[in-house]
Amino acid sequence: MRGPTLTLVLTISACSPHAPAPTLEEAKVEAPAEAPPGPPPPREPLPPKPAPATTTWTTLTVAPGCELQIADAPASLGPPIAWTPCKGGPNGCFEAPTQSPEGLAPDLDVVGLSRGGQVTIAALRSLPGSRSRYSLAPRDGLPFFAVEGPRSEQCSLGQIGLSDDGAVIEVVFDNKDGYASRAYLRGPLAGDPSWREVAAVLPRRQFPEFIGESMLSVGGRVMVEQNGGPLRWYDPGEKRWHEVPGSRAGWECCASGHGDAVVFLLASIPERPMAARLGERAHPLRSGTIGGTSPVMIDGSQAVWLEGRGRNNNNFYKSIALWTAAVVDGPALADARQVLTLPLKTMRTPSFADGVVAIPQELHEAMIVRVESGAQLALRAPDDLAIERILWLTRDEVAVRIGHADTSGRPSVMRRLPLAALPPWTAK
């Protein structure tokens, strides 16, 4: 998700509640009698405390027994993440824990979206009393939206989807026999009155076997991705859900929204990248014969993906390469070209923004590629840690969540690293 590496370090200290007893020689050392005791050494400054929550909250009833609270002044809640300089990291590196000091388990999950160098983050924080809060904010700014809700089987804040068209927050309720109804809040990536109302509801009784995969904003509409397909979008004027034609023609996955279009993958053999505008039938995004492909990642007018050749019955490839193309009206891909061949035999899903691609390699490393120049950088964690997720990318920075490659449940740490601090990629 080879030469000199940048080490991402998650420091864990084992402390004893008592200092070791001094040795006999140490006990004999005394300060000169004439030297008066000096002042105690200065303590390191404590991290700044978050601003007190001074906002009022408005109740939004999703369904009987399922109520949310929406912040009237979300900025007063303060930044959703407190970044501090990395311990032992390079200049310009910042980190933040996923577990608060008083938490008994990791209580913060973050996703990010970068477009044109502007990063929007969505932070889900577990609160006391079995409650959660979503905060949406610029990377280094104050929240423009915050919503709190319970964490229970009958009413709970669920997943979130970010796209350049906006964000969608899922609310799960009416859970029975493993299936639940879902409501969705949707708004732009800024403060807006549309955030204060329910944008769509997917009733369990109408879709009794729906298993949610993800949700996204497309053309100002809520779109949901069912596990395996199909894709559906909600028309608030008609008050009904529409299926994207062509999204049932295989195991649909990996949808992403771009303006008024959705891009997804039909995970057959070989895979087929598809695209569709709202109200239109899905069409192939990549023409020609392909041995295998990753999802196509789009940022504005540019797209990237991985393409494999010579796949055997065990899904190993003879070669995998990074490709790029221009995105033209349709949407469609034009002027496709290969950027470079990768040291991979199995397919991975890249992250892409601002002309920069992050390609997972092994658990503890990722290759960062500048598409225009083909320059390659190495993002690596120590052997006992894993890169769990790329949170966001810009042309200057990569944010990553790293943790332990085991099932111990130990908390992860988030790091923001300047790309200028990463070493060149070199093969092992």
pLDDT per position as a tens digit, 110-159: 999 999 889 999 999 999 889 999 999 999 999 999 999 999 989 999 99
User: What's the CA gap between 42 and 418, in Å, rounded?
Assistant: 31
| Residue 163 falls inside a structural domain | no
| Residue 378 falls inside a structural domain | yes
pTM higher than the cut 0.95: no
> What pLDDT shows up at residue 21?
36
> Which of 2-6, 18-22, 269-273, 326-330 has the largest mean confidence?
326-330
- Boundaries of domain holding 416: 350-428
> What pLDDT shows up at residue 216?
96
Q: Nearest Cα to 340, choosing from 425, 241, 216?
A: 425
| Residue 143 falls inside a structural domain | no
> What pLDDT shows up at residue 35?
38
| Residue 360 falls inside a structural domain | yes
> Which pLDDT band holds residue 30 (cuts at 50, 70, 90)?
very low
pLDDT per residue as tens digits for the range 299-333: 999 999 999 999 888 889 999 999 999 999 999 99
> What pLDDT shows up at residue 286?
86
pLDDT per residue as tens digits for the range 50-94: 555 689 999 999 999 999 999 999 999 999 999 999 987 788 999
Q: Are 84 and 47 in contact (CB under 8 A)?
A: yes
Q: Helix and strand tally (H, E) in the chain?
A: 1, 32
Give residues with Cβ within 8 angstroms of 249, minimum separation 6.
266, 282
| Mean pLDDT calculated for residue range 32-44 | 40
pLDDT per residue as tens digits for the range 359-417: 999 889 999 999 999 999 999 987 788 999 999 999 999 999 999 877 666 889 999 99
Least confident of 38-42, 243-247, 351-355, 421-425: 38-42
| Residue 112 falls inside a structural domain | no
**Tokens of residue 61, six digits:** 């009833």
Q: How far is CA 407 from the centre of its chain?
A: 21
**8-state DSSP, 296:** P
CA distances from 213 to 166, 208, 227 (A): 18, 15, 5
| Residue 276 falls inside a structural domain | no
Sheet with 283-284, edge to edge strand ranges: 252-258, 261-266, 272-277, 283-284
> What pLDDT shows up at residue 36?
42
Q: Are 388 and 405 in contact (CB under 8 A)?
A: no
Using CB atoms within 10 A of its CB, is residue 173 exposed (0-12), middle (13-18) or buried (19+)? buried
Instruction: Give the total number of structural domains in the chain.
Output: 1
> What pLDDT shows up at residue 53?
60
pLDDT per residue as tens digits for the range 261-292: 999 999 888 899 999 999 999 999 988 778 89
pLDDT per residue as tens digits for the range 154-206: 999 999 999 999 999 999 999 887 789 999 999 999 999 999 999 999 999 99
| Residue 397 falls inside a structural domain | yes
pLDDT per residue as tens digits for the range 199-229: 999 999 999 888 888 999 999 999 999 888 8
